[in-house]
Every structure is written in structure tokens, then in C-alpha cells.
């Protein structure tokens, strides 16, 4: 049963792609939505059947894939644990919602759009579920090409510039990570007296359980993996591709980028850098904490200065994901758990914000804040959803954002009160720029004729946002089911790092 679920969740989107040529052009979007919903339905039993009492992989598929590549066996090894389960469900939820929102802004070449979105879903879910390094890298690269075409074909006026910049940034980091993967696999073989005692392995959890590498290899591998993940987050100063990609991407591209793809970087830090290179993690943690704090404050100040709603939300992502990195490299169990939970919270709230920016852009063909005002009167449903997404983004109590940010700051405070105080300024700045935007867009006089006759959100648009709002409040009111599923895996990673701390102190 578990093997079947993993296979369905990862490969159902590919089945949907194979069926696209046989579906009439006008039915391609409906077919793709159905396929994505089927993948979401297949992922739900993973949530309910997940064993919270153990840390290892569950729902495993482990099949021989490529025999004797680099004197090892690359395996089709899939599964989920407490680190990946929440992100897998986030991906399978957001993908059908993005496809359901597409008719508002994807008017041409819908079948091609569906092809790239389904391929991207396969890559995203596969990245979270891959337990083999070679398989992980293939899924990691699989995500790159679809988003390049989504931005390059359906994006704005500077779409080619944004798509190429995104491609070059992420590819550069990925190639360095590939070199580190090859080294990790080759060095894992044990040879004594010219005899192969233990063959090389590419299994991620097995490598994480072995004795760490020597100091120099750890540092070099940490830097290679870390650069790829820092670009994907994006962490300051590798963030410059993100605003261009968000602004030029269609609404669907922005939602999937903010909702899922940016989490690949923070997931990579937690999955690879911390357990595989614990001594290097300790050495680089202060530097990454500093970069995270710079990103939190710098991203917030840039967001505050924006007059374009989409740019504001894009820069806010730099600030919010700085919080996640802060939690992970505080190396405290509470902070790390908050960082993982905040990945989900950011996907929900920022994904909702990009959808809402798309709603008004489709009606007014402008995103400038000064072009609006008083929309709460003409678009009350839009006003409700925008307020909820905004309050979740700034971490209001009873929303998921509050739980994640509180855990990150509480855990960080135990490590460095100064880092926690500086991080908290990002919360204050977030409230300033987000509430200022809401005030100018929703309230005040309805003094522009173009805004008086705007149609409120349709049933389809409301249905897309409703699951996100429900999850925002669920996590904010009752986060225990989410925290229970992450607890054992986070404890395992934290113990690995704590053991390295003990060794260093000796």
C-alpha cells in the first residue's frame, strides 16, 4: 500500500502528461486539474497513516534503477519522513489550485501550459521524496526547465530576461552540487587491503547515519550544496533573480515559485547540509545567521519601498525565507521545527497573496498601489481574503504565521538574544509594509471611476483561495498534528548536530 501511494504521488502527473495529446484542446485544463487532484488524493493517506513515533522513511519504494553507475547502484528510492511529509502535501495541494486559477490569465497555449505544470509537479514532489542522491538531482533539475518556459512564454514584457537570469543562477549552483554528489558517492565505498569491503552508496539516509567526512571535504561539500540551496531560497546576496522572476512570471508561475519552489533551498539545508556535514554546519552557522538577518531586514525595507503590489510580495518572500534560514541555523530543536513549519506557512500566505494580486491585475491591468483605493466597498470578498492572507503573512496570533515565527524567535533567543531581537524587527517591518499596502488598496475613498465597477471575486477564484485560508487558521489554532509529524525527524537531525558540537568542544 505504501509503495503504491509513493508511486502514484510522484508519477501520476506524468500519466496526465501522456494523456494530454488525446484530450481535446479545450479540455486540456480540466484533464490536468483532474490529474493534479488525483495526486493530491493519493497523498492524503500519507498524512493519515504517517507513523509519528519514528524518524525514518515511510511509504518507501526501493527498486534497482541504474546498475553499477560509478561502482554503485543508483536506486529508485522514494519515501517521506517528518522533514518532507508537510512539503509533499503542500505541493500536491497548491498545484491543482494553481491550475484551477489559470483560466483567468492563461488565455493561449493552455495545453502546453498544462504540460509544463504537470512536469513541474512531478519534479517538485520527486525532489521532496527522493532518497537517492542521483534521483534527487534528476528531480531537482527537472523543476528548472518547466519554470523557465512558464516565465519565458506566458510572462510579462521582460520575460526572456527574467527566465534566462533565473535559469543561469540556479544552474550554476546545481552544477557545483552535482560535483559534491559525485564526491560523496565515490568516497562512501570502503576499501581495505585493496579489497572492496563496503560498496559505494547514494542513499541519502544511509549517508546521514555514517561517520561524517573529514574537515576539509565537509567544508567543500557544504559550500557546494549550500550555494545551490542559498540561490534557490534565495538567501542574501543571491536574491537578485527572484524579484525579476516573480514580476515577469504569470500568476501561476509566481504562486508555484513562492508556494513550493523556494522551499527547495531551505529543505535542502535541512535534509543535506545539517546531517551530512555537521561540523561544517557549526562553523558556518554564525555566517548563515548573519546573512539570514540581513535578508530579513533588507527584504522588508525593499518591500516597504515598493509601489507595485507584486514586487512588494516578492521582496517580502526574501524577508520571510530569511526567517526560515534563521530557524534552521540556530541549531535549536524548537527553532528548527518552527523553520520547517514556516516553510508551509509561507507557501500558504504568499501563494494566496500572489493569487490575489492576479485577481486585481486581471480586472485593472495594473499593479500599482496608488491606482487602487476603497476596494473593500466594490470587492468585499476580495477584501476578506486579502486581509486574511496579510494577517497570516505578518504573523497575527491564530494564524499559522504566528506559530512558525514564534517558535523560530523563541528557539533563536536561547542561542543568541541579539539575533532574536534583530529577527523580530522583521516582524515589525512586515506589519508596516503589509498593513500600509492593505490600507491603501482596500480602504480610503473610492475616488477612481475604474474601481467602482470592478467585479468581485468569482466562485472559481473563491474556491481556489478557500483551502489556503482554512489551512492558515488550522495551523494557527491547532498546530499539533503538523508538529507531531515533524518531531522525530527534527530531533534526529538536531542530535546529529549536537553530537558534532560535543566533539568540537572536546
What is the distance in angstroms between the CA of the first residue and the CA of the last residue of the chain? 47
**Spatial CA neighbour of 10 closest among 36, 47, 45, 48:** 36
| Cell numbers that stand for 82 in this block | 517528518
Which CA distances in Å does 89 have to 10, 57, 58, 257, 354?
12, 16, 14, 16, 20
Give percent above pLDDT 70 in the chain. 95
Do 290 and 246 contact (CB within 8 A), yes or no?
no
In which domain, by residue range, is 460 found?
2-505
Q: What is the pTM of this model?
A: 0.92
Is pLDDT of 373 > 90? no
With bands split at pLDDT 50, 70 and 90, how would you rate the model's confidence at 403?
very high
HEC sequence for 95-140? HHHHHHHHHHCCCCCHHHHHHHHHHHHHHHHHHHHECEHHHHHHHH
In this structure, the strands spanning 190-192 and 72-80 are: unpaired
What span, in angstroms and rounded, lies between the C-alpha atoms of 9 and 11?
6
Secondary structure letter of residue 395 according to DSSP: T
The answer to whether 344 and 87 have CB atoms below 8 angstroms apart is yes
- Tell me what the pLDDT averaged over the chain comes to: 88
Instruction: Report the alpha-carbon distance of residue 190 to residue 208 in Å, rounded.
Output: 16
pLDDT tens digit sequence for 193-244: 555 556 677 788 888 877 777 888 899 999 999 999 998 888 888 888 888 8
Can you say whether the dihedral through the CA atoms of 64, 69, 72, 78 is positive or negative? Answer: negative
pLDDT of residue 73: 65
Query: What is the secondary structure of 65-77 as a DSSP string?
Result: EEEEETTEEEEEE
Q: pLDDT tens-digit profile of 88-115?
A: 999 999 999 999 988 877 778 888 889 9
Integer Cα distance of 377 and 158 in angstroms: 34
Which tens digit of pLDDT belongs to each residue from 304-335?
A: 988 889 889 989 988 999 999 999 999 899 99
- 245: cell is 522572476
- Give the number of other CB atoms < 10 A from CB of residue 213: 22
| Residue count (the chain) | 506
Predicted confidence at residue 68, as pLDDT, reads 59
Whether residue 348 contacts residue 392, with contact meaning beta carbons closer than 8 Å, is answered with yes
Does residue 140 register a pLDDT over 70? yes
Beta bridge partners of 58: 80
Q: Taking a C-beta distance cutoff of 8 angstroms, is the pair 37, 96 a contact?
A: yes
- Residue 1 confidence class, pLDDT cut points 50, 70, 90: low
Residues 6+ apart with CB under 8 A from 13: 35, 36, 39, 95, 118, 119, 121, 122, 125
pLDDT tens profile 2-56: 688 888 999 999 999 998 888 888 888 889 999 999 999 999 999 999 988 888 8
Would the pLDDT of 192 be above 60?
no
In this structure, are residues 302 and 361 in contact, taking their beta carbons and an 8 Å threshold? Answer: no
Q: How many domains does the chain have?
A: 1
What's the rounded mean pLDDT across residues 57-67? 80
Q: How far is CA 124 from CA 109, 305, 333, 350, in A?
A: 23, 32, 26, 18
Of 385, 390, 397, the C-alpha closest to 464 is: 385
pLDDT at 125: 94
Alpha-carbon distance of 456 to 442, in angstroms, equals 13
Amino acid at each position: 500500500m505504501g509503495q503504491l501511494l509513493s508511486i502514484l504521488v510522484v508519477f501520476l502527473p506524468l500519466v496526465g502528461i501522456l494523456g494530454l495529446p488525446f484530450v481535446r484542446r479545450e479540455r486540456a485544463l480540466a484533464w490536468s486539474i483532474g490529474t493534479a487532484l488525483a495526486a493530491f488524493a493519493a497523498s492524503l493517506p500519507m498524512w493519515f497513516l504517517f507513523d509519528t513515533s519514528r524518524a525514518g522513511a515511510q511509504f518507501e519504494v526501493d527498486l534497482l534503477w541504474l546498475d553499477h553507475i560509478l561502482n554503485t547502484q543508483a536506486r529508485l528510492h522514494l519515501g517521506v519522513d517528518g522533514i518532507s511529509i508537510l512539503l509533499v502535501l503542500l505541493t500536491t495541494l497548491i498545484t491543482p489550485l494553481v491550475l484551477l486559477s489559470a483560466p483567468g490569465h492563461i488565455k493561449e497555449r493552455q495545453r502546453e501550459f498544462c504540460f509544463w505544470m504537470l512536469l513541474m509537479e512531478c519534479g517538485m514532489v520527486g525532489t521532496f521524496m527522493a532518497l537517492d542522491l542521483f534521483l534527487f538531482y534528476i528531480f531537482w533539475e527537472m523543476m528548472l526547465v518547466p519554470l523557465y518556459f512558464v516565465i519565458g512564454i506566458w510572462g510579462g514584457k521582460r520575460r526572456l530576461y527574467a527566465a534566462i537570469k533565473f535559469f543561469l543562477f540556479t544552474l550554476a549552483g546545481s552544477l557545483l552540487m552535482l560535483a559534491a554528489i559525485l564526491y560523496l558517492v565515490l568516497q562512501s565505498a570502503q576499501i581495505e587491503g585493496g579489497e572492496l569491503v563496503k560498496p559505494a552508496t547514494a542513499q541519502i539516509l544511509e549517508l546521514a547515519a555514517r561517520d561524517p567526512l573529514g574537515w576539509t571535504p565537509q567544508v567543500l561539500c557544504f559550500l557546494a550544496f549550500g550555494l545551490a540551496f542559498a540561490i534557490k531560497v534565495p538567501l542574501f546576496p543571491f536574491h537578485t533573480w527572484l524579484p525579476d522572476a516573480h514580476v515577469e512570471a504569470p500568476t501561476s508561475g509566481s504562486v508555484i515559485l513562492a508556494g513550493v519552489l523556494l522551499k527547495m533551498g531551505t529543505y535542502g539545508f535541512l535534509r543535506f547540509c545539517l546531517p551530512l556535514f555537521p561540523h561544517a554546519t557549526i562553523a558556518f552557522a554564525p555566517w548563515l545567521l548573519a546573512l539570514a538577518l540581513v535578508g530579513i531586514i533588507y527584504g522588508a525595507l525593499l518591500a516597504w519601498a515598493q509601489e507595485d503590489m507584486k514586487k512588494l510580495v516578492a521582496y517580502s518572500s526574501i524577508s520571510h525565507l530569511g526567517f526560515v534560514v534563521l530557524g534552521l541555523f540556530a541549531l535549536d530543536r524548537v527553532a528548527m521545527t518552527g523553520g520547517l513549519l514556516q516553510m508551509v506557512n509561507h507557501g500558504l500566505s504568499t501563494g494566496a497573496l500572489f493569487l490575489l494580486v492576479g485577481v486585481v491585475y486581471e480586472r485593472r491591468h495594473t499593479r500599482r498601489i496608488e491606482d487602487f483605493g476603497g476596494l473593500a466597498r466594490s470587492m468585499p470578498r476580495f477584501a476578506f481574503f486579502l486581509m486574511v492572507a496579510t494577517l497570516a503573512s505578518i504573523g497575527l496570533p491564530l494564524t499559522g504565521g504566528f506559530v512558525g515565527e514564534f517558535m523560530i524567535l523563541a528557539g533563536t533567543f536561547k542561542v543568541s538574544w541579539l539575533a532574536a531581537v534583530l529577527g523580530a524587527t522583521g516582524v515589525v517591518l512586515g506589519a508596516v509594509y503589509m498593513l500600509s499596502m492593505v490600507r491603501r488598496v482596500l480602504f480610503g475613498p473610492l475616488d477612481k471611476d475604474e474601481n467602482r465597477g470592478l467585479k468581485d471575486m468569482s466562485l472559481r477564484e473563491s474556491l481556489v483561495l478557500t483551502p489556503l485560508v482554512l489551512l492558515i487558521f488550522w495551523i494557527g489554532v491547532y498546530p499539533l498534528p503538523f508538529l507531531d509529524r515533524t518531531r522525530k525527524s527534527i530531533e534526529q537531525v538536531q542530535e546529529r548536530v549536537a553530537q558534532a558540537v560535543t566533539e568540537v568542544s572536546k
